[in-house]
Amino acid sequence: MKIPISIKDVEKEIENISNLNDLQLLKSKYLGKSGKITSLFKEMRNLSNEEKKEFGKSLNVLKNDVEELIDREKNRIEEENRNMKNRNFRDDETLPGYYTQMGSMHLITQTMEEIKNVWMNMGFEVVTGNEIEETYYNFDALNTPESHPARDEHDTFYIDEKNLLRTHTSPIQARVMEKRTPPLAIFSPGKCYRKDTPDPTHLPVFHQFEVLYVDKFVTVANLKACLSTFIKKILGEDRRIRLRPSFFPFTEPSFEVDVSCGICGGKGCRSCGNSGWLEILGSGMVHPNVFKSAGYDPNVWTGFAVGTGIERIVMLKYKLDDLRDLVRNDERFLQTFRRINL
């Protein structure tokens, strides 16, 4: 039995096709369920076994040739359409350009960088540490044994009995003192964790920096001079500081550091509770027990430590009243403090 269709018949029809829709109709005409070639396969049941073998072989060759021809034409039309689209796009110079929004550092990161630069300019080295810390370095090496009441304030996220998410960046100081010999001056920034319920002044995840200076004959006068320089560089040359006696397990004596109110200039207003002062950080002279844990002789070496939350300084610097604004990811808020860093 002779096949009544040839590949030339299909080639003739395909010459008049210029779009994918017509090409699909042509494919259905020959290869669809009721297509011409498909129908010929059904007629094979009327042939003898010998005829089926010869006819089926020729029909399969035709079917494959038609499929290949249609696929080639499909690729040609698609390529032509892409080129046409690209030509039209390139030629239309009135089309608007693509807008890419420039990124910038988050307000916390900006402030962290400013603070870091101030302490680096005073000769301090930047040292970072692990966020998962051993309880020994987080507490015991800092004169806060398990029986100490101050340890309850740092109740936090424990990984196991010996490891936890650090509650402050002070463990970095303990590790550095354990490995190095004085004199040393380090600045330790990083992320910290405590089981605080989010409110306008607390977050369970926050950023902190601590400063440690150890040498011979270090006094409170050195501490106050460095603090005054730091505050003036970060908050303004007109800002003053005062030191109030306080308690921290790892320093003795210890001081809460207040800064003069930036709104009333220290005269007293609603923002500062009419006191003229705002609390900003904690500080003090390194406790002899901390030196002993590190293997330092407290009769030879003295030093001071300073620490506070970055978010606290951000709130004072930019007069924010809710800490949670820093983590809400509200683009309107972030744009207010946008700074392009190249």
Q: Could you please report the per-residue DSSP string of 130-164?
A: -SEEEHHHHTGGGT--TT-GGGGGG---BSSSSEE
Q: What is the pLDDT of residue 214?
A: 97
Residues 6+ apart with CB under 8 A from 261: 267, 268, 269, 271, 272, 275, 276, 277, 278
Greatest extent of the chain over all pairs of C-alpha atoms, in Å = 113
Residues 287-297 have pLDDT tens digits of 999 999 999 99
CA distance 231 to 333: 25
CA distance 260 to 265: 6
The string over 255-280, giving b where at least 16 C-beta atoms fall within 10 Å of a residue's C-beta and e elsewhere, is bbbbbbbbeeebeeeeebeeebbbbb
Residues 25-54 have a mean pLDDT of 82
Nearest to 69 by CA among 57, 61, 80: 61
Residues 261-278 have a mean pLDDT of 83
Share of the chain above pLDDT 70, in %: 94
- For the ranges 11-25, 47-61, 104-118, 254-268, the lowest mean pLDDT is seen at 47-61
Q: Give, in degrees to the nearest 5, the angle at Cα 68 between 64 and 69.
A: 115
Taking CB atoms within 8 Å and a gap of at least 24, the contacts of 98-105 are: 102/340, 104/338, 104/339, 104/340, 104/341, 105/339, 105/341
Q: What is the pLDDT of residue 105?
A: 84
Predicted confidence band of residue 341 (pLDDT cuts 50, 70, 90): very low
Share of the chain above pLDDT 90, in %: 45
On the question of pLDDT at 150 being above 70, the answer is: no
Q: Angle, to 10 degrees, between the axis of helix 49-91 and the axis of helix 20-31?
A: 180
On the question of pLDDT at 239 being above 80, the answer is: yes
On the question of pLDDT at 330 being above 70, the answer is: yes
Residues 134-155 have a mean pLDDT of 80
Residues 147-176 have a mean pLDDT of 84
Ramachandran bin of 273, using left for φ above 0, alpha for ψ from -120 to 50, beta for the remaining angles:
left
Q: Could you please report the per-residue DSSP string of 32-60?
A: STT-HHHHHHHGGGGS-HHHHHHHHHHHH
Residues 6+ apart with CB under 8 A from 162: 134, 135, 136
- State the DSSP code for 325: G
Report the 3 state secondary structure along 209-267. Answer: EEEEEEECCCCHHHHHHHHHHHHHHHHCCCCCEEEEEEEECCEEEEEEEEEECCCCCCC
On the question of pLDDT at 152 being above 80, the answer is: no
Q: What is the pLDDT of residue 145?
A: 81
Is this model's pTM higher than 0.75 or not? no
- For the ranges 87-101, 177-191, 203-217, 226-240, the lowest mean pLDDT is seen at 87-101
On the question of pLDDT at 234 being above 90, the answer is: yes
Residues 249-274 have a mean pLDDT of 87
Q: Within its chain, how far is the Cα of 331 from the centroid?
A: 16
CA distance 96 to 134: 57
Residues 130-144 have a mean pLDDT of 91
Residues 208-222 have pLDDT tens digits of 999 999 999 999 999
Predicted confidence band of residue 340 (pLDDT cuts 50, 70, 90): very low
